[in-house]
Structure 1
Amino acid sequence: MTDLVETDHHDDLLDLRAATNQVPPLVGHHVVTSDLALTEAVTRLGSAAVVDDLAALGAEAGSEEAREHGMLANRHHPELVPYDRFGTRIDEVAFHPSWHWLMERAVGHGLQAAPWERQEAGDVHAHLRRAAGFFAWSQTEPGHGCPISMTYAAVPALRADDAIAKEWTPLLAARAYDPGVRAPSDKAGALAGMGMTEKQGGSDVRANRTQALPTADDGWYALRGHKWFTSAPMNDVFLVLAQAPGGLTCFVVPRVLPDGSRNRIDVVRLKDKLGNRSNASSELELDGTLAQRLGEEGRGVRTIIEMVAATRLDCVLGSASLMRRALAEASWHVGHRSAFGGLLVDKPLMQNVVADLAVESEAATALAMRLASAVDRPGDAHEVALRRIALPLAKFWVCKRTPAMVAEAMECLGGNGYVEESGLPLLFRESPLNSIWEGSGNVNALDVLRALGREPEVLHAWIAEVGAARGGDSRLDRAVDDTLAMLGDTAGLEAGARRLAGQMAACLQGSLLVRFSPPEVADAFCGSRFGTSYGGTFGVLTSGSLRAVVERATPRT
């Protein structure tokens, strides 16, 4: 028998249980104050006090606890509970406690309908404050932003009827998250949803077939039909489009009727969808469902259009938020991960990629905050016209850019970014959503043409806005001139609507960056987005101080 000889070789063996060169999780950073693009825009458009108001939100959004709740809410999917244990039809949705944790804080921070009451009370930056908070808080988890967004957007539509608005707005604006199916009079706060699309029509809501028949009660109707997409079916009240005797009309559908009984709202199924899994998207059947008319019969689209405008703003904010979270993860990773003899952030090509992602994110953030500030000035003709044209432009462009941007950020993390624990797969699955919701790319590009054709003031507003940067960068100046030339080709406008919308949106972004961002950011944007063979591929910047751009965008803990 051979004796074992001890050696010191084991000291040189790989310790299989040790992890080295792994990047620490991005937690403990302040999501608001560590984002210079956000804080500078909010300070410029509002004040430093608005940034200060978001201190608690930003700290909590960057906490380890928030990150964990965001992951858990998507790991444990909502479940449809059609019947209670006694066999009574209840049509409720059960959520994981992490969903309620996220919702409680989003409502508590006033990210739902609170700005409308604050604006009426004299807060001149109510919507900008809310937009910055929504942008920052959505980085915890995107799915719960859906009921928050719809609640925010419902208020301007409800104003079509003073009595209905006075009944619901205080509850929708309350900073109390109070889930459960109960009479509104018994709740400390409420949430709103909407049901517009149907199986046969999609975006073509005028093809809706849901019927609305007047009842004996003045202003009340009985609805019968099927709604193809209704997100957040657990909400307290819904805005629904249906065909009344006088044509397509908007209705308010309460979950619980004034007498305390449950309204007939049958949840057929929850959608098995791409994107987040925390939120419940559903199909509803309405059969004798009672609803109040909102606005005049036959004016449903006009009545609900303000809700659509508000949700489109949140599409832009949501996509910009996804961009920022993806950029934060990518810049954090390359700043801590070593490869090929040094930190990734010091490698010229990786530095180019992350700088390009940072430029894209800052351009989206600047435009989103600019649009939010326009909501704070409803009496300013320029702001109203700019909002009308810039909303579909930004909705088209920012939302369309998000999937490619998030995919590139994921690639910065390599294989580590492809696993769920990194958070990037959720961001990537979510990234196409806002380009589809509230009108796909084609719908918004055509809406741009509609606005230009019917409202001459919107073009004047766009020209004034981009013209404010005239002379600041020759590449931007040429892009604006080329865009105006495109508008002269009336025969090819519809076929070229996407190209026009993208160019007009990029010019708005370029104008904001040239006027207000550091020179290296504006130079990189204009040098890559205008007059080049850029092609949308990230990491092909040829100008600007790339190191400074990356450092500006990297979170600090």
Structure 2
Amino acid sequence: MTTIEQTVHPASHVTHQVMNQAAPREDVNEYTLNTVLDEAVRRHDAAWATDSLTEIGALVGTAEFQHDAELANTVTPVLHAFDRWGRRIDEVEYHPAYHRIMSAAIAHGVHTSAWADPRPGATVARAAGFMLFGQIEPGHACPVSMTNAVIPSLDLQPDVAAVWRPRALSRSYSPDLGGPDKVSAIFGMSMTEKQGGSDVRANTTVAVPAGRGGPGTEYLLTGHKWFCSAPMSDAFLVLAQATGAAGEGLSCFLLPRVLPDGERNVFRIQRLKDKLGNKSNASSEIELDGTVGVMIGEPGRGVRTIIEMVARTRLDCILGSAAGMRQSVAEALWHARHRAAFGAALIDQPAMTSVLADLALESEAATVTAMRLARAHDDDADETERAFRRLATAVAKYWICKRGPHHAYEALECLGGNGYTEAFPLARRYREQPVMAVWEGSGNVIALDVLRAMTREPESVAAFDAEVNLARGANSTLDAHLDAVRRGLAALATADANTAQLRARGVVEAMALALEASLLVRFSPAPVADAFVAARLGADRGFEYGSLPVGADLGAILARH
């Protein structure tokens, strides 16, 4: 006799019921949810821009925009040096998502709106919009930043500015290398070479005059540039060693991708850099070989000509780092509010609450400082403001950009294993944050720049001291730190060159904390300011996030984020 056994069917998808996972953080308004940024916009004379910023906040918070950000960073740029017939074309192909992001950013004026419509708070409004776009997709911010920053350097050569300034101010965007009739332009810059890096005076690229030479005239450039981001930009500022009777030495040149007659300029893209992060933004090595460039500024004064561009891009590095901190805090808080462990929501677990509040403090300090600096870069800045921004921008660039990577890591850890996967945005943010500290001067370069500013522009030290001491008397711990900063600056002023270099980082760090703490004391609620001062300057301060003083009002801190 044969026994027929009954077939047993497995239960269907029992293990795949998704529970205790946060919903996607999408279709939110990144501006109206950002209390700290909104307060700063209103405080620094840009309340007139809140409607536009609210529109941007809604756009970048959509699922569609977030998906475009993911696509732009996963389907990365590809170099096509030649066409299929063997002709040299030197073009970089981007995913269409990148161009959609660029088009939206340009349409909202986050590149040059402050130059197009200068008024009190114009740079603040532009900075806030730049941060909102960069919070979700930071790679495109590189050409956006350079296009904003090129304007003051262009203005040193009025005949050239007459042609290129209107194109840079345009709110239209076209990814194609158009001819002389193209109405818009994106700008890049390329200074470093493989043998010199930050020491741009070691550059070997040579510029030979095509005619009489001198400012506003054409030169032929030959050399190799080690780092050139956004190589599909319409024009670049580059540094090269000028030759000829009109003047010699390291000079600044405007190099167009397409010449006035519509012919392509010689601009050989050798390869794209395989970077740690910043994947959506193509960075390249380029070769110039009889490439046409127009001299901007005086011969031999290239660094001085391009330095204002560098100062503006340094400000944008601060804005970008602060935007990244905001993304990190927003994502970590979203997860903690929608995830339970050990019988309670993560946000209500004291150890997690302390970490999140500490991350929020760092983000608030960075945002408040960045927006104060943006106001100092407005068109109506007086001599004191200009002196303040000269020193404070370098100080803040050093500190805020260095705080970014560890801040991103700690926020990533709040998500646990999810945070370490590329499916969530904080892995990308963790790889992105170091670039802000490297570009436009890494730590030692910035610290040495602070030393130079102190020596060459002592009025900048006085302006910085006056700014941070506006908070004196409100917090005894801060007062003691302000006294220590004054002592440190005095000692640095009398130190020999080697000793000054050895002390520079410590003094710049102390200055940065003084600036952040003083601004929070002046502008943020007492629970925020008191906790920040105690956690960063107090006797019991810790080294890791989450070491906040007992009694800190963590709920009040987090309510703002």
The answer to whether TM tops 0.5 is: yes
Q: Which residue of the other structure, out of 111, 130, 133, is the alignment partner of 2:129?
A: 133
Q: Would the aligned equivalents of 1:479 and 1:531 in 2 still touch at CA under 8 Å?
A: no
Q: CA deviation at 1:532?
A: 3.0
- Corresponding residue of 2:157: 161
Q: Could you tell me how far apart the structure 2 residues matched to 1:533 and 1:314 are? A: 33
Shift in Å, 1:462: 1.0
Q: Which amino acid aligns with 2:240?
A: A
Could you tell me how far apart the structure 2 residues matched to 1:100 and 1:536 are? 41
SS of equivalent residue, structure 1 residue 267: strand
SS across alignment from 1:82: strand
Q: 1:211 aligns with which of 206, 213, 223?
A: 206
Cα distance in 1, alignment partners of residues 66 and 413 from structure 2: 21
Of the structure 1 ranges 335-344 and 485-494, higher mean CA displacement relative to structure 2 is found in 485-494
Query: 2:116 & 2:39 partners in 1: Cα distance?
Result: 26
* SS of 1:139 mapped into structure 2: helix
CA contact (8 A) 1:114 1:172 kept: no
Q: Write the mapping of 1:75-114 to structure 2, written as runs, cut at 5 A.
A: 75-114=74-113
Separation in 2 of the partners of 1:257 and 1:377? 32
Secondary structure of 1:28's aligned partner: coil
Deviations 1:280-336 (A, max 9, x none): 000000000010000110000000010000000000000001110011000111011
The corresponding residue for 1:197 is 192
Match of residue 467 from structure 2: 465
- Partner SS, residue 117 of structure 2: helix
- In structure 1, distance between residues paired with 2:120 and 2:405: 34
Query: Contact (CA 8 Å) 2:46, 2:124: kept in 1 or not?
Result: no
Aligned AA for 2:390? R
Partner deviation per Cα, 1:154-177 (whole Å, 9 max, x = no partner): 111111100111110110110001
| Cα distance change of structure 1 residues 536 and 157 upon mapping to structure 2, 3 Å threshold | farther
Distance 1:115 1:50 in 2: 11
State whether structure 2 residue 507 is matched by structure 1 residue 511: no
**Which deviates more from structure 2 when the two are superposed, residues 379-388 or residues 327-336?**
379-388
Match of 1:340 among 339, 342, 346: 342
**In 2, Cα distance between the equivalents of 1:522 and 1:327?**
18
Mapping of 1:137-148 within 5 angstroms? 137-148=133-144
SS in 2 for 1:138: helix
8 Å contact from structure 2 (residues 207, 240) kept in 1: yes
- In structure 1, C-alpha distance between the alignment counterparts of 2:436 and 2:381, rounded to whole Å: 29
Give CA-to-partner distance per residue, 1:424-458, whole Å, 9 cap, x none: 11100011101010000111111111111111111
**Alignment deviations for residues 94-138 of structure 1 (CA, whole Å, 9 cap, x no partner):** 01010011000011110112321211xxx3222111000001111
Q: Which runs of 5+ in 1 are unaligned?
A: none
Q: Deviations over 1:50-72 (max 9, x none)?
A: 22221211100111111100001
| Residues 135, 318 of structure 1: 8 Å contact kept | yes
Which of the residues 324, 327, 330 maps onto 1:328?
A: 330
Q: 1:277 aligns with which of 251, 276, 279?
A: 279
- Cα distance change on mapping 1:235 and 1:217 into 2, 3 Å: farther
Match of residue 532 from structure 2:
525
**How does 1:91-490 map onto structure 2 within 5 Å?**
91-119=90-118, 123-183=119-179, 185-216=180-211, 218=213, 219-245=217-243, 246-489=248-491, 490=494
> Does the CA contact (< 8 Å) of 2:250 and 2:302 recur in 1?
yes
Match of 2:503 in 1: 496
Q: Secondary structure at the match of 1:420?
A: coil
Q: Deviations over 1:351-380 (max 9, x none)?
A: 000000000000000000001111114541
Can you give the 5+ residue segments of structure 2 that lack an aligned partner in the other structure? none
TM-score by length of 1: 0.96
Contact 2:278 2:435 in 1 (8 A): no
Q: Is the 8 A contact 2:239 2:302 kept in 1?
A: yes
Cα separation, 2, equivalents of 1:379 and 1:27: 38
**Residue identity matched to 2:291:** T
- Structure 1 residue identity aligned to 2:199: D
Change (3 A) 1:231 1:398: same
**Does structure 1 retain, via aligned residues, the 8 Å contact 2:332–2:414?**
yes
What is the DSSP-based 3-state SS (H/G/I as helix, E as strand, rest coil) of the residue aligned with 1:26?
coil
Which stretch has the larger CA shift, 262-271 or 461-470?
A: 461-470
Secondary structure of the structure 2 residue equivalent to 1:369: helix
Distance 2:379 2:297 in 1: 24
Letter in 2 for 1:170: P
**Rounded Cα–Cα distance in structure 1 between residues aligned with 2:164 and 2:148:** 12
**Residue type matched to 1:316 in 2?**
I
1:248-267 CA deviation, whole Å, 9 max, x = no partner?
00000000111111100000
CA distance in structure 2 between the aligned counterparts of 1:532 and 1:63, rounded to whole angstroms: 44
Separation of aligned partners in 1, 2:185 and 2:46? 30
Comparing 445-454 with 413-422, which one deviates more in the overlay? Answer: 445-454
State, as a whole percentage, how many aligned pairs show the same letter.
51
Q: Is the 8 A contact 1:378 1:384 kept in 2?
A: no
Q: What letter corresponds to residue 210 of structure 2 in structure 1?
A: T
Q: Please list every run of at least 4 consecutive aligned residues from structure 1 whose deviation after the TM superposition is greater than 4 angstroms.
A: 2-7
What per-residue deviation string (whole Å, max 9, x for no partner) do you get for residues 491-538 of structure 1? 343211111111101111111100110111101100011033535310
Contact 1:487 1:493 in 2 (8 A): no
Map residues 69-80 of structure 1 onto 2, 5 A cutoff. 69-80=68-79
Partner SS for 2:22: coil
Alignment-mate amino acid for residue 187 of structure 2:
A
Answer whether contact 1:221 1:293 (CA < 8 A) is retained.
Answer: yes
Question: Aligned equivalents of 1:501 and 1:533: distance in 2?
Answer: 21
How far apart are 1:14 and its partner, in Å? 7.7
Cα offset for 1:216? 2.2
Residues 377 and 383 in structure 1, CA contact (< 8 A), matched pair in contact too: no
Could you tell me how far apart the structure 1 residues matched to 2:381 and 2:524 are? 28
TM-score normalised by length of structure 2: 0.95
Q: Distance in 2 between matches of 1:342 and 1:125?
A: 44
Distance in 2 separating the partners of 1:259 and 1:186? 10
The number of aligned residues is 546
* Secondary structure at the counterpart of residue 252 of structure 1: strand
* Structure 2 Cα separation of the partners of residues 310 and 379 of structure 1: 14
Aligned-pair CA distance for 1:467: 1.1
Deviation at 1:484, TM superposition (A): 0.8
* CA distance, structure 2, for counterparts of residue 531 and residue 500 of structure 1: 17
Say whether the 8 Å CA contact 2:46–2:125 is kept in structure 1. no
Q: CA RMSD in A?
A: 1.6
Q: Secondary structure at the match of 2:150?
A: helix
